[in-house]
Amino acid sequence: MRSFIIAIQFLTRIPVPVIGDISEREAGRSLLYYPLVGLLIGLLLYALNGMLANAGESLQAALVLAAWVLITGALHLDGLADSADAWLGGLGDKERTMMIMKDPRSGPAAIVLIVLLLLIKFAALEAIIADDNGWLLILAPLLARTALPVLFQTTPYVRAGGLGSAMSEYVSSLEGILLPLLISFAVIILMGWSGLWIIIAVMISFMLLRGMMIKRLEGTTGDTAGALLEVIEAVVLVVAALVK
């Protein structure tokens, strides 16, 4: 239970009992609960969408998206912003890229990318709501947070002593990869061809982004993990809106 609450604390702003003196093992084991936190976020968004059923589709989509950002505290958007600035300003150099990611200021690349991503999410949400497929709101946060165990199990964490190091050490490869595989198969079984296309899109996005991380940084960081999560959420929403 402590590891689950730690995962909620780390990934969201949902009020939970604050846990202090978190051991490295507990922090590492919390990785296994990331998909469950994604499911929780999705259920909250689905419930909110139901309560806003009488609002216009555009307003409904805007309020759901705003709630989504508030629930996560814009944590992963911050990672996306830092990664965008670092990739543009890093000029292909690992050390320069890492240095820029530590800078709390956001440059033009960060602002443009965040605006575009939120616009894409909004448009996809509006399409999903218009088709009366609000239950698909559960899928995006679930699959995006399901991708993180795979990332940390297959990709070196380049900041020594960081949280990602503990996640690699205290979660076995079998646990970190088997759980996402089971969730992916469940999505395909429940959704059929639509689910298959969504999972394929997630896998392609994951491999492309992971390849970029390996090429530039020789691994991943918290910022790039957050960027991956945000992109996968957007990909799931877009594909779900298209394949219906």
Residue 18 lies in a domain: no
pLDDT tier, 185 (very low <50, low <70, confident <90, very high otherwise): very high
Cα–Cα distance list, 166 to 7, 16, 31, 162 (Å): 13, 23, 10, 7
For the residues 143-172, what does the mean pLDDT come to? 79
Average pLDDT over all residues of the chain: 91
Query: pLDDT confidence of 153, banded at 50, 70, 90?
Result: confident
15 found inside a domain:
no
Confidence category of residue 195, pLDDT binned at 50, 70, 90: very high
Residue 166 forms part of a structural domain = yes
Please report which confidence band the pLDDT of residue 78 belongs to, taking 50, 70 and 90 as the band edges.
very high
The pLDDT value given to residue 31: 87
Q: Is residue 146 part of a domain?
A: yes
pLDDT at 166 over 70: no
Residue 119 has pLDDT above 90, yes or no: yes
The average pLDDT across 127-137 equals: 93
The amino acid that residue 13 corresponds to is: R
| R_g of the chain, CA atoms, integer Å | 17
Residue 12 forms part of a structural domain? no
Q: Per-residue pLDDT for 200 more than 80? A: yes
In a domain, 173, yes or no: yes
Is 27 part of a structural domain of the chain?
no
CA distance to 90, 120, 129, 223, per residue, from 216 (Å) = 9, 26, 38, 14
Domain range for 135: 32-243
Q: Examine residue 25 and state whether it is found in any structural domain, yes or no.
A: no
Model pLDDT for residues 172-182, shown as the tens digit of each residue:
677 778 889 99
pLDDT grade, residue 62 (50/70/90)? very high
Position 159 confidence tier, pLDDT thresholds 50, 70, 90: confident
Predicted pLDDT at 175: 74
What's residue 240's pLDDT? 96
- pLDDT score of 1: 77
Q: Report the pLDDT averaged over residues 3-26.
A: 86
Number of separate domains in the chain = 1
Query: What global pTM score does this model have?
Result: 0.93
